């Protein structure tokens, strides 16, 4: 966020900007886009279907139509293209796990004061749970579906034969690099539950046979093998500088001569370190 708050009106506008996100999350919590599907609905009929009040639903749908997620014609509402596809549980492109993650983030941000007081992440004392890791990995796949091919198109891997997607979760970036570079073989490295998702995704891709899997705790274990390129995307921000420096030493030891470590994350490039920007470094 780069908009500066100078006046009280600026403060009010910034604080009340929560209203549209809360409208969107309420609709997702109601599975409203799934309920609407491909049909046109009046408010009374739709309210009976999702078991809410007509008045409340009318207000919600009007706001969703203002935002472009629903279409209103006379007394009826229909889904927008996005509502009918990625937000609709009955459509093959439904992004279930990413939607669930977004909804959970709303609750997490509501506990910000707790985290500020303790200086710790909200889940710092919770054990790693394979079911959560699997859901989170699918969410990361849904998040990067469109951007991964664009990133792969911008990075020249000429001369490279092997790539390690370090902490790569679903392997979405690895698959994008493989699709762009037919002579490259890739390995995705992460926890076993994440790699189960990566295998499912790779099985649907033509380049899937060129992807290998390395179960590893990247923060505590050495990295076996040698690679021409190591890709480290959106993991850096999770760990401390000390942890990342230790990981970089292990990663560099696994690079072939002339190899490259490519890092993508939100970096603070401005002098005062106030404005993070998504970028790739090497």
Residue-level pLDDT, tens digit, the chain, 282 residues: 567 899 999 999 999 999 999 999 999 999 999 999 999 999 999 999 999 999 999 999 999 999 999 999 999 999 999 999 999 999 999 999 999 999 998 988 898 999 889 887 777 555 678 888 899 999 999 999 999 999 999 999 999 999 999 999 999 999 999 999 999 999 999 999 999 999 999 999 999 999 999 999 888 888 999 999 999 998 988 888 899 999 999 999 999 999 999 999 877 666 666 666 655 555
pTM of the predicted structure, to 2 decimals? 0.78
How far apart (Å, rounded) are the C-alpha atoms in residues 158 and 176?
15
How far apart (Å, rounded) are the C-alpha atoms in residues 249 and 124?
25
How far apart (Å, rounded) are the C-alpha atoms in residues 41 and 32?
11
CB 222 within 8 A of CB 158: no
């Amino acid at each position: 966020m780069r908009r500066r708050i100078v006046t009280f009106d600026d403060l009010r506008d910034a604080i009340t900007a929560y209203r549209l996100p809360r409208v969107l999350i309420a609709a997702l919590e109601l599975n409203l886009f799934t309920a609407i599907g491909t049909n046109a609905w009046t408010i009374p009929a739709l309210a009976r279907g999702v078991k809410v009040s007509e008045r409340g639903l009318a207000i919600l749908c009007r706001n969703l139509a203002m935002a472009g997620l629903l279409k209103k014609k006379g007394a009826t509402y229909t889904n927008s293209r996005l509502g009918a596809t990625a937000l609709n549980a009955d459509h093959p492109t439904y992004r279930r796990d990413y939607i669930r993650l977004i909804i959970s983030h709303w609750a997490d941000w509501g506990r910000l004061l707790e985290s500020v007081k303790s200086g710790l992440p909200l889940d710092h004392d919770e054990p790693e749970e394979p079911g959560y890791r699997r859901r989170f990995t699918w969410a990361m796949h849904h998040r990067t579906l469109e951007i991964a091919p664009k990133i792969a198109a911008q990075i020249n891997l000429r001369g490279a034969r092997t790539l390690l997607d370090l902490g790569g979760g679903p392997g979405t970036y690895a698959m994008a690099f493989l699709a762009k570079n037919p002579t490259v073989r890739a390995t995705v490295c992460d926890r076993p539950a994440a790699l189960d998702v990566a295998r499912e995704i790779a099985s649907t891709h033509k380049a899937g046979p060129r992807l290998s899997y390395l179960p590893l705790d990247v923060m505590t274990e050495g990295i076996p093998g040698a690679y021409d390129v190591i890709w480290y995307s959106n993991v850096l921000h999770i760990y401390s500088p000390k942890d990342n420096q230790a990981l970089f030493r292990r990663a560099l030891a696994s690079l072939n001569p002339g190899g490259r470590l490519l890092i993508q994350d939100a970096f603070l490039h401005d002098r005062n370190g106030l404005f993070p920007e998504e970028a790739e470094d090497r």
